[in-house]
Amino acid sequence: MDCNQLVELVTAYLDGALDPDTRTRFDQHLLECDGCANYLQQFHQTVRTVGQIRDDELDPAFRQRLLDAFKDFG
């Protein structure tokens, strides 16, 4: 697995949705690549932080911009 493939699969990895072979290749790449290991850690922290924000804490216009930016993601 290369770095680009890992980046494409990071959400599935965090969701536990990778098949066993892909999960093994993902984990092996993390052991060999400090950059991707750091990326995964930062991505996980971002998800954790954003997950703590309540809808009523977001400005409605900002919330809509976020929804528009990520509407085709995933």
- pLDDT band of residue 21 (cuts 50, 70, 90) is very high
- Domain 3-70 = CATH 1.20.1740: no
Is the pLDDT at 73 greater than 70? The verdict is no
Tokens coding 70: 């990520």
Q: What is the sign of the dihedral through the CA atoms of 72, 8, 62 and 59?
A: positive
- Give the number of other CB atoms < 10 A from CB of residue 15: 8
Judged against a pLDDT cut of 60, whether residue 4 lies above it is answered with: yes
Is residue 27 within 8 A of residue 6, CB to CB? The reply is no
pLDDT in tens, 26-69: 999 999 999 999 999 999 898 888 788 887 788 889 888 878 88
- Please count the residues of the chain: 74
Q: Where are the domains of the chain?
A: 3-70
